Structure 1
Amino acid sequence: MKEEKMFTKEDWLTKFTKPLEFAYKNNFQNLHKIKYLEKTLLKFIENLPQEFEPYREKFLELCYGLDQVSLDEKKERIKALFDLCIVLGINKEEPSEVEEPQEEPINQEFYQEPTFSLEEYRQAKEELKKPVQFLKGVGPKVAQKFAKKDIHTIEDLLFFLPRDYEDRRHLIPISNLKEGQKAVVFGEVIKSGVVYTSRRKVFEAQLTDGTGILLLRWFNFKEFFLRNLLQSGKRVYTIGEVGKFGRVFEMVHPEIIPEGEEDKLELELGKIVPVYSAVEGLSERQLRKIIKNAVEDYADFLENFIPREFLKKRRLLPLNLAIKKLHFPEDEKDLSLLKKEESVYHKSLAYDEFFFLELALALKKSKVKKEQGISFRTDGEKVKAFLAKLPFELTSAQKRVLEEIKKDMASPVPMNRLLQGDVGCGKTVIAFIAALIAIDNGYQVAMMAPTEILAEQHYHNFRRYAQLMGVNVALLSGGVPPAKKREIHHGLATGFIDFVIGTHALFQERVEFKRLGLVIIDEQHRFGVLQRAALREKAKGITPDTLVMTATPIPRTLGLTIYGDLDLSIIDEMPKGRKPVITKLFIEYNKHKAYEAVKEELRKGHQAYVILPLIEESEKLDLKAVTTYGEELQTKFFPEFKVGILHGKMSSLEKEKIMHQFKRKEIDILVSTTVVEVGVDVPNATVMVIEHAERFGLSQLHQLRGRVGRGEAQSYCFLIAYKISMESEAYRRLQILCQTNDGFKIAEEDLKLRGPGDFLGTKQSGYLEFKKADLVKDYPILLWAREDAFSLIEKDPDLSKHPILKEELTRRWEERLKLSEIA
C-alpha cells in the first residue's frame, strides 16, 4: 500500500508542475497562452497526497486569484509554486533547465550542419528576393512606405534591425515609478473623459493599481475611440514614459493594451520588445507585427553555410538564428548587452559579415599563389652598385624589409606585398631597389600613383636615383602632350623605357609593355583590390610581382580588410639624426603667437609652409582663399620675407616652377592647399602652420606634418583651429597630434573617431559597408573570422567541398571584390 502512495506522490508532483513548467519556459514566454491556470491547479490540490497535507494552506494561498493578479505577481507566484515543488522532491534537474535560460544560448542542436541541397539553397535565396509587399500585413501601400527606408525585399526587411530595446518584462507598481523611466503599468480605469484647459482640450484617464494613481493624457485624440477603450472599471496595460504633472505621475500618449487581448499581449508585454527607427505612417505595433511575420516565415532562409565547427568554437550562432533573436530576443538577464550591441546575436552577425569578406580575400590570396610568377635573381650588379653609391646607410628596418622583398621576388610565386611605414621613413629607396632587381633581370617596372601631382613627385624622386644608375624613367600622365605620349608608348612596347610612372588612367589606355615584371602601387588608401588586378593584367602570360606602398600608416583593422590579400612589411624606424617634429595647438584668438614663432624660424634662415584647406572664394565654407590669404600674410605679417602661392588650379609647370623656387630658397613662405601633402623634400623648411586644422583628418595632418623635419634642425608644426572649445571632440582629436609622432597610433585613433567611411573617403569604403559589423569595436571578431576563413581555404583551396558556401560568397561579394575570376 505504501509503495502505491509513494508513486502517487511522484505522479502528483509531475502532473502539477507540468502546466507550471509550460508557463515558466523561456522566462514566461508562454504565460499568455495559458487559460484557466488557477482552476487547473486548484483541481490538483483537491487530490493532494497525504504527505503534502501540511503544505495545503501554502498551495491554496499561492493559487487563489492567480488569474486575476498582475502579470508580475503571477510570475512571482508561479516561481514560488515551483520552488515549493522542488522542496517537496520533484527532480531538480528538470526545472533548473527552465529556470536558467542561458545567456549564451549554446544549444548543441544549433551546431548541426544544415541539410539544404544546392537547389533548395537557391530556392531559399529566391524567396528572400520577393518584394516586401507580398508579406502578410503589407500590400502595395505599406510597401511604398518601406521603400522610403530603402526596404524593397523580404531580405531587406529581415536586416532592418532594432535600433534599441525596451524592457517590458516586469510590471511596475505605480508607487514605485520614477520620472523619466519607460514603464509598463497594469491597473483599473477609475474615470476618463475630455478636460478643457484654457488653451486646448485634453483627454485624461486616471488609472489605479491599489498602490497609487497614474494620470494618462492625450492632446491629439479620437474621442470616441478613447472613451470606448478606457471606460471606468476596465483593466488595461499602459506603456510609456513616466512624467510628473504636479505631484501626480503621468504618461502622455501612452500605448494601451486592454486585458484579454492575448495576441497583442504576447507581442508587446512580458518580454524585451524591439524598437525600430520609425517608418512613416506605421505605428510601432504594426511594424513589430509585420516584422514578426517576416521573421517567422522567412528568417530560416538566411542560412549562410559557415561550417558549424567554427561557430561552435567561437560560441556564436548561425545567421538565421541570430537574426531571429535580434528582432525578438529571449528575455536575457542582461538587457544592456543588447542595447550596447554586444550580445551574442550582434557578435554572430558581425562574424558572419567578416567571415565572407575574409573568405574572399583568402581565395584571392590562394589564387595568386597558384599563378605563374617570375623568379628574379636578386643579387645583381646594379643593386650592389646602387647601395655603394648611396650617401647614407639603410636603417635596420629598411634592411629587414628589403630582405622580405628579395625573398618574395626570388620565389616563382608572384609577390603581393604591402610596404608601409611612417612619413619620411625611407620607403622610396626600398621601392627603387625592388625596381632595380626587376630591371637587372631584363624586365620593366610600372608605378601607379593616385593623382597627377603624386605621379610627378614620384617621378622627380625616382629620377634622382635613376640618373645615378643609367635607368630610363618616363612620366605618363594626363598632362603629357600627345606626341610625347606616343614616344613613351613606343618606348614601353620596344623595351627602351625601363621604368614608367603614371596615374591609373595610364593603365586604362592602350599601353603595351614588352616585358612587365614589377608593378609598384602608391595607394594612399585611394584604390583597392580592383585596380591592382587591372594593372597586373598588362603583363603577358605571367603575373608580375606587386609592391603596394602606403604613405599613411594603416590601422591594423583596415590592413586586414582592404589589404587582407597582401603580405605585410613595415618600416618602423626613422633615419638616424631625425628629430621628432614638435606640434602645438593654437585657438584662433592666440594664433598671432604661432606666426611670431614662424618669424623666429625665418630669421634663422629657415623656411615655412602655411597650409589652407580649400581654394576659390566661391567655396561655400568661409575659408580664407589661398591667394587673398597669401597677400595678407605678405603685407601684414611678413613684409620683409618673400611669400609664394601654390594651389590645385595651377598647371603642373607652374607648380613645378614655384616648388623649385621654394627649394632654391627664392621663396621663404609657401602658402598652399594640401597639394604639398606628399613627397616634396625641402630640408630647410622647419615650420608648418596649418590653418583650420579642425577640418582635416588626423592622418592627413600627420602626413602634412611629415613635410617638415627632413633636415638636421628642430622642426615645428602649428595647428590653428577655429570655433572649437577645449571640451570639444575636435580639440581632443587635435591634442592626439601634439602628444605623439607615431603614425600607426594616430591612424588607429583617426579610424576610431571617424569610422572607415570617412577615413578612407567614400569611394574606397564602398566595399567596407557592413550591416552591423563595426571594424573598430568588433576587431577581435574580425581576427576570428580571418583565422577561420584562411584555415578553410587552406583545406579546401577552391571551395569545391563547400559548393553552397562558394555560391553564397559570390552572391555577396562578386561586385565589390571582383570575384568573377575565382568563382
Structure 2
Amino acid sequence: MVKGLSTLIPQLAEKALAANPEPALRDMLCTLREQFKVFDALTRPAQEQLIRDALTMLAKKREPDQTTQQQVTAANRSQILNTPIRYVKGVGPKTADALSRKNVTTVEDMLYFLPRTYIDRRNVMKIAHLQPGTHALVIGTVIRSGSESLSSKNKIFNLIISDGTGTVAAKWFHITARYRAILQKQFPQGQRVLLAGMVSTFRFSLEMHHPDIEPLDDEDDIDAKRMIIPIYPLTEGIHQKTIQKVARATAVTYAPLLPDYLPRQIQDKYRLVPLSEALRRVHLPETSDDIEALSQMQSPYHRRIVFDEFFLLQLMLALKKQGVALEPGIAFQVPRDKIAAFISSLPFALTAAQLRSLTEILGDMEKPAPMHRLLQGDVGSGKTVVCLIAALAAVWNGYQGAIMAPTELLAEQHYKTISELMGTHPVTVALLTSSIAKSVRDRILAGLREGSVHLVIGTHALIQEGVEFHRLGLAVIDEQHRFGVLQRAQMKKKGVNPDLLVMTATPIPRTLGMTVYGDLDVSVIDELPPGRKPVITKVFHENKRHEAYALVRRELEKKNQAFIVYPLVEESEKLDLRDATRMAAHLQQDVFPEYRVGLVHGKMPQAEKDEIMQSFKRGDIHILVATTVIEVGIDVPNASLMIIEHAERFGLAQLHQLRGRVGRGTEQAWCILLAQYKKSDEARQRLAVMEKTNDGFKIAEEDFNIRGPGDVLGTRQSGLPDFRVAHIGRDAKILGEARKAAFELVAQDPGLQLPEHQLLRQVLRDRWKGRLELAGIG
C-alpha cells in the first residue's frame, strides 16, 4: 500500500481549496482532506475502500451532468438532518441513550452540539517546561511501567516517561486487569510515545491522569498528530473521547452533504463561510485556526452558525410583519378635535413623551394595514391614559376597544382609573373578569355582541370562548411578557384584523426587543409626569432594622403610608426567611401597636384582597404587609415608603416593579432594601444597580447582562426561541446584521417565491413548524 497518503492528499486538497472553488467541489475537497488525515490509522481493507471511494468521487466530479449542491432538494436535506444518531458510525444503543439525555437524537442535533471549549495540542513541550493546571503535548520514551495497589480493589497502572529534560508519570486508576494488560503490552520500556493531557503534581512530581497516549515509530509524521482538540459538555454514561469520536464521524460524513440555503449575495455581503464548512470546522478545527476565537465562540465558523440562527428568526419576524402589512386593516378617521378636547379635560397635563407616543399610535391607526405596536413605559409613566385615548379614537369611529391585563387586580385598577377619567363622556365601559357574577357577565357579553359596550377591560377571560364582539377595532394587551405570543394571536382573532397595541412596564433591552418583539413597531414613554421625584433607594442590613422601622414611623407621623414586602406568605421549613403572615402579627403587636397594619397575599380570596387594598387606598390601613401580589398595578399616591425584606432573593425587574408602587404622589419617596449578609455576587450586583438608578431601561440592560435573555422575560411564556449556539448578549452585533439581511430579503421577495429561495423557504418552515403562525408562508 502507498505510504504518505495521509500527508499528500490533505496537502493537495488544501492547495485546490486555496483557489476558492464552487461550493460542491469545495465540499468534496474538504471531505477528502479530512478522510485522508486518518488514513494511516485505518485497517488495510478500510484504506483500500477509502481509495476506491475517492476515485469514484473524482470520476463523478468530471461528469458534465453532475448534480450540483444547489439541486439537492429540501426533502434530501431534511432526510440527512433527521437521520437518527444511532446510525452514525460508532454509536451503539448505550451511547445513543446517553446522548439523548443531552437532547442529541439526530444528526442535526449532533452537528449543532458544539464543543464548550478547545485544547491546544499543536505544540510539543519539553517536560521540564510543564506547568500544573495546563494541557500539554509531550514526546518521550517509557523508562518504567507497572502497577501499584491503593487497596485490594483499586490498582493504579503507571508509566514513567522521559524526554531527557525531565520525567512525567502517566496514571490510570480503577481500570480492569484486561485494560492493564493491553497498556503494558502496547507501552513496554523503551517505547517512544506521544502523550497529551492535563498536567498535575503529586508529592512534587509531574503527573497526567488518564491521558491520551499513542505509540510512535520512526516513520510517524509528528505534524499529523498536532491538533486542536474539541471538548464537549458531558453527560452521565458517556466519555469525552466517545463524544469526540461521534462528533467527528458526524461532521466528516454528514456536514459536506448539507446544501447551503443562505442566498449567495448574503454570504458575500456579510463575509460568511459556507454552512457545511462551518459545521465541520467547529468539530474538526485545523491547526491554523485561532484557538482563542474558537474557545470564545467568535470564530468565522461560529459566526456563520450564529448568523443563521438569528437570520431564520428575523426572517420569520419580517414575513410576519410583511404579512400584517399585506392584510387589510381598519383605516380610522382620527377625530383630532375630540381628542384635543378630551386631553384638555384631563386633571393633569400629558408629558412630551406621552404626546409623542400617542401621535405614533394614532398615525398607525390611520393607515389601512393593522397596527402592531409595542408601547414601553416605566412604572407610573402614564401608559393607561395613552391607550385610553387610542381606544376612544376607535370608539368614535363606531368600533369597540378591549384592554387585557394579566391580573384581576390590574384589570380592576384600569377600570377604575378609566371610569374616573371618562367622567361624563357618553362611552360605556365594562369590566369582565372570571370572578364577576354570572348575571353581570351575561349582560356584558350581550352588550359586547350588540355593540352597546364600547370599551371592555378584563383578564384572559376576554379571549375565552363565548366572548364575541360586535366590531372590535383596537385590542390593547397590558404587561405583554405575562402573556405568550399565542394569547396575542387569540386576542386578534376576536375581530377582523383589529389594531393591536401591546403595553409593557418591564423595559426591554434593545437586543431582546429585536428578537421577541421584532415584528412590532416601538413607542417609548421615557419621562415621568411632572412633579414626581425619583425614589431614594438604600440597602440596609439586618443590624439596621431599627433604623428602617424609625423611617416608617417618621413617614406615618407625616400622615403618609408604607408597604412592607416579604417573599413568602407563611413560614417555610426549608428556608430561613421571614414570612408575611407572622411578621404582620409581630409588627401590629410589638412594633407599631398605635397604627393599623393590614396583610395581603396571593392565597387570599379575591374579595378579601380587594377589601384590604381599598382600605389601604382610603387611608384606613397605615402599613400594608404584602407579598409580591402588589408588584403590578396598585396606585396609592399617599404611600411614600417601601421596605423590601430579603431583597437579595428578588430579581432586578421585580425589585423595580415593586419600587414603582411608591413615589406616585408629590412627596419624596423611599425604598429600603433589607438584605441578609449571606448573598451571592449576583444579588450584590442587583442591589447595587437598584441603589444607583431609577431608570427602568438601564435596569433592564443590567438585568439582561446579569441573567441573560431567557430569564429576563421568562422564556417559556415569551415565545423567545431556544437558540442552540447564539447568545443575544454576546452576539448582539451579528443579530443586527442578520435582522438587516432578513428584512432586506423580504422587501425584495415578500413571499419567498423566487426559485433560488425555495430551499430557504423550506428550511424556515422546518425551523418554525408549529411554533408560530407564519404570515404569508404558512
TM-score by length of 2: 0.88
Aligned mates of 1:328, 1:380 — CA distance in 2: 65
SS in 1 for 2:369: coil
- Partner of residue 604, structure 1: 558
Identity of aligned residues (%): 49
1:521 partner letter:
I
Aligned mates of 1:520, 1:468 — CA distance in 2: 23
Whether the 8 Å contact between 2:228 and 2:287 is mirrored in structure 1 is: yes
Matched, 1:565 2:480: no
Aligned mates of 1:123, 1:370 — CA distance in 2: 33
Equivalent in 173, 183, 201 of residue 244 of structure 1: 201
Matched, 1:780 2:733: yes
* Change in CA separation of 1:32 and 1:509 when aligned onto 2, cut-off 3 Å: closer
- Partner of residue 768, structure 1: 721
- Partner of residue 55, structure 2: none
Shift of 1:304: 4.8
Equivalent in 434, 437, 452 of residue 478 of structure 1: 434
Equivalent in 657, 660, 663 of residue 709 of structure 1: 663
Shift of 1:34: 9.8
Aligned mates of 2:106, 2:592 — CA distance in 1: 64
Matched, 1:291 2:247: yes
Shift of 1:359: 0.5
Aligned mates of 2:222, 2:106 — CA distance in 1: 28
Shift of 1:265: 8.4
Shift of 1:333: 5.2
Single out whichever of 26-35 and 558-567 deviates more from structure 2.
Answer: 26-35
Whether the 8 Å contact between 1:24 and 1:30 is mirrored in structure 2 is: no
- Partner of residue 589, structure 1: 543
SS in 2 for 1:817: coil
Shift of 1:162: 0.8
Whether the 8 Å contact between 1:452 and 1:477 is mirrored in structure 2 is: yes
* Change in CA separation of 1:265 and 1:550 when aligned onto 2, cut-off 3 Å: farther
- Partner of residue 663, structure 1: 617
- Partner of residue 234, structure 1: 191
Aligned mates of 1:196, 1:513 — CA distance in 2: 82
Aligned mates of 1:338, 1:566 — CA distance in 2: 35
The answer for unaligned runs of 5 or more in structure 1 is 1-16, 36-112
- Partner of residue 636, structure 1: 590
Shift of 1:445: 0.4
- Partner of residue 362, structure 2: 406
* Change in CA separation of 1:405 and 1:358 when aligned onto 2, cut-off 3 Å: same
Aligned mates of 1:591, 1:321 — CA distance in 2: 61
Q: Deviations over 1:679-714 (max 9, x none)?
A: 222111100011111221111111111111111111
Aligned residue pairs, count: 725
Aligned mates of 1:472, 1:597 — CA distance in 2: 44
Aligned mates of 1:22, 1:212 — CA distance in 2: 39
Shift of 1:289: 2.1
Whether the 8 Å contact between 1:382 and 1:436 is mirrored in structure 2 is: no
SS in 2 for 1:617: coil
Whether the 8 Å contact between 1:420 and 1:549 is mirrored in structure 2 is: yes
SS in 1 for 2:516: coil
The 5-angstrom pairing of residues 337-416 of structure 1 reads 337-379=293-335, 382-416=338-372
- Partner of residue 506, structure 1: 462
SS in 2 for 1:525: helix
* Change in CA separation of 1:647 and 1:265 when aligned onto 2, cut-off 3 Å: farther
Whether the 8 Å contact between 2:432 and 2:461 is mirrored in structure 1 is: no
- Partner of residue 190, structure 1: 143
Matched, 1:789 2:718: no
Aligned mates of 1:114, 1:746 — CA distance in 2: 52
Matched, 1:580 2:534: yes
* Change in CA separation of 1:678 and 1:145 when aligned onto 2, cut-off 3 Å: closer
Matched, 1:431 2:384: no
Aligned mates of 1:140, 1:243 — CA distance in 2: 35
Matched, 1:330 2:330: no
1:237 partner letter:
L
Shift of 1:646: 0.9
- Partner of residue 87, structure 2: 134
Shift of 1:400: 1.2
The answer for unaligned runs of 5 or more in structure 2 is 1-6, 19-32, 41-66
- Partner of residue 41, structure 1: none
* Change in CA separation of 1:549 and 1:664 when aligned onto 2, cut-off 3 Å: same
Single out whichever of 572-581 and 213-222 deviates more from structure 2.
Answer: 213-222
Whether the 8 Å contact between 1:610 and 1:672 is mirrored in structure 2 is: yes
Equivalent in 169, 174, 191 of residue 215 of structure 1: 169
* Change in CA separation of 1:642 and 1:743 when aligned onto 2, cut-off 3 Å: same
Whether the 8 Å contact between 2:73 and 2:759 is mirrored in structure 1 is: no
Whether the 8 Å contact between 1:32 and 1:265 is mirrored in structure 2 is: no
- Partner of residue 549, structure 1: 503
Aligned mates of 2:405, 2:595 — CA distance in 1: 35
1:794 partner letter:
A
Aligned mates of 2:395, 2:105 — CA distance in 1: 55
Aligned mates of 2:88, 2:99 — CA distance in 1: 12
SS in 1 for 2:771: helix
Aligned mates of 2:663, 2:221 — CA distance in 1: 69
Equivalent in 234, 253, 270 of residue 210 of structure 2: 253
* Change in CA separation of 1:30 and 1:362 when aligned onto 2, cut-off 3 Å: closer
1:808 partner letter:
V
Equivalent in 750, 758, 766 of residue 811 of structure 1: 766
* Change in CA separation of 1:794 and 1:762 when aligned onto 2, cut-off 3 Å: closer
SS in 2 for 1:185: strand
- Partner of residue 754, structure 1: 707
Shift of 1:141: 3.3
Whether the 8 Å contact between 1:419 and 1:547 is mirrored in structure 2 is: yes
Aligned mates of 2:575, 2:595 — CA distance in 1: 29
Single out whichever of 555-564 and 380-389 deviates more from structure 2.
Answer: 380-389
Q: Deviations over 1:235-294 (max 9, x none)?
A: 111112112233432222222111259999899x31101111224444333332222111
- Partner of residue 48, structure 2: none
* Change in CA separation of 1:440 and 1:114 when aligned onto 2, cut-off 3 Å: farther
1:488 partner letter:
I
* Change in CA separation of 1:620 and 1:371 when aligned onto 2, cut-off 3 Å: farther
- Partner of residue 693, structure 1: 647
Whether the 8 Å contact between 2:320 and 2:776 is mirrored in structure 1 is: no
Aligned mates of 2:501, 2:661 — CA distance in 1: 24
* Change in CA separation of 1:197 and 1:472 when aligned onto 2, cut-off 3 Å: closer
Whether the 8 Å contact between 2:516 and 2:719 is mirrored in structure 1 is: no
Equivalent in 177, 188, 194 of residue 130 of structure 2: 177
TM-score by length of 1: 0.84
- Partner of residue 67, structure 1: none
Matched, 1:151 2:151: no
The 5-angstrom pairing of residues 619-634 of structure 1 reads 620-634=574-588
Whether the 8 Å contact between 1:584 and 1:717 is mirrored in structure 2 is: yes
Shift of 1:339: 1.3
Q: Deviations over 1:38-74 (max 9, x none)?
A: xxxxxxxxxxxxxxxxxxxxxxxxxxxxxxxxxxxxx
Aligned mates of 1:821, 1:19 — CA distance in 2: 49
1:121 partner letter:
A
SS in 2 for 1:686: strand
SS in 2 for 1:815: coil
1:805 partner letter:
L
Shift of 1:822: 3.3
- Partner of residue 116, structure 1: 70
1:677 partner letter:
E
Aligned mates of 1:653, 1:571 — CA distance in 2: 33
Structural RMSD (CA): 2.7
Whether the 8 Å contact between 1:529 and 1:563 is mirrored in structure 2 is: no
Whether the 8 Å contact between 2:74 and 2:762 is mirrored in structure 1 is: no
1:547 partner letter:
L
- Partner of residue 273, structure 1: 229
Shift of 1:318: 3.2
* Change in CA separation of 1:738 and 1:471 when aligned onto 2, cut-off 3 Å: same
Single out whichever of 199-208 and 494-503 deviates more from structure 2.
Answer: 199-208
Shift of 1:666: 0.7
Structure with bigger gyration radius: 1
* Change in CA separation of 1:606 and 1:314 when aligned onto 2, cut-off 3 Å: same
Equivalent in 684, 693, 696 of residue 731 of structure 1: 684
